[in-house]
Amino acid sequence: MNSSDKFTEYFDQIKKIWEKLDTSNLIIPFCTPMKLNPKFLVIGINHSDFCRNNLVESKRIAEDFSKRIPLENTFIKHDHTFAKGLREVISKVHDTHNDFDEKPTDEWLGTNRIAIQTDGKGAGAIEALDNYSECQKDMDKVLKSLISYMKPKNIILAGNEACENFFYPESSSHTMANRQPKKILIDKNTKATSNIIPVWHLSHNWRTSPGDPECYGDKTVKRIKQAIEDGLCELKKS
């Protein structure tokens, strides 16, 4: 089976998982094209609007992404808050680390822990549905299989809900500030590894925590820079 067919198989698996839930919301497995050995795989929580200033275009994008693996990369082409937040972070890291990309390229791929699109209410409405927990467990298994197959050099987990019970434990003591980048084994047969970099939600770069004036975006930039310096963010293709 070639890689195109294999990624289509993953796409179909993800669709089947989330079709079990009682919701009319669109199921969007991926938000970029898929390829083997990318430099970065960004995993968020779930999709919202792709183009808030143009709901017709936003709907077109979402419907297209729900039918097939995208041909366009949302991190490059679209101006939703997550994409803009990611581009802002990448640019700021590049300012001091020239080997780091200046902006997203086709080496930056993306998916989510929850494949169902929601409005501004976020993933809470999905998490409240019957059978959600079962779907999430199945999704996480597929995502880990996808990671093992595609072998990204680095995986960015964006937001606490992208981390909890997925490479990091769920605990009140495990806030984003306490989660740290690490190297993990992703394929026992080939001994392939990937760097996991947990960061604050990229749609919320402007936010701050109580008693801490530093915004999430600046924290994320520092986190990635530290990962580079610690050898936990691989910048060059092998």
Q: For 3-229, CATH number?
A: 3.40.470.10
User: Could you tell me where the beta strands, DSSP code E, fall in the chain?
Assistant: 40-44, 108-112, 154-158, 182-187, 192-199, 208-209, 212-215
Instruction: Give 22's pLDDT tier (boundaries 50, 70, 90).
Output: confident
Q: How far apart are CA 130 and CA 127, in angstroms?
A: 8
pLDDT tens-digit map of 133-170: 999 999 999 999 999 999 999 999 999 999 999 999 87
8 A C-beta contact, residue 47 and residue 117 = yes
- CA–CA separation, 148 vs 155, rounded Å? 12
Angstrom CA distances, 38 to 51, 54, 154, 213, 230, stand at 26, 31, 8, 34, 20
Which two tokens mark 150? 């595609």
pLDDT-based confidence at 108, cuts 50/70/90? very high
Distance CA 179, CA 223 (A): 10
Contact by Cβ (8 Å): 20, 131: yes
Instruction: Give the start-to-end residue ranges of the domains of the chain.
Output: 3-229
pLDDT at 122: 77
185 phi, psi to nearest 5 deg: -80, 125
Distance, CA of 119 to CA of 126 (rounded, Å): 11
Per-residue confidence (pLDDT) for residue 132, from 0 to 100: 94
What confidence tier does 53 reach under pLDDT thresholds 50, 70, 90?
confident
* Largest interatomic CA distance in the chain: 53
Mean of pLDDT values over 56-75? 95
- What string of DSSP letters covers 56-101? HHHHHHHHHHHHS--SS-HHHH--SHHHHHHHHHHHHHHHH-TTS-
Beta strands in 144-181 (DSSP E): 154-158
Do the Cβ atoms of 94 and 221 come closer than 8 Å?
no
pLDDT interval class at 124 (50, 70, 90): confident
135 and 20 in contact (C-beta within 8 Å)?
yes
**How far apart are alpha carbons 10 and 192 in whole angstroms?**
20
Closest to 87 measured CA to CA, from 223, 232, 226, 221: 221
Whether the per-residue pLDDT at 114 is higher than 90: the answer is yes
Residue 181 is predicted with a pLDDT of 97
| Segment 93-111 mean pLDDT | 97
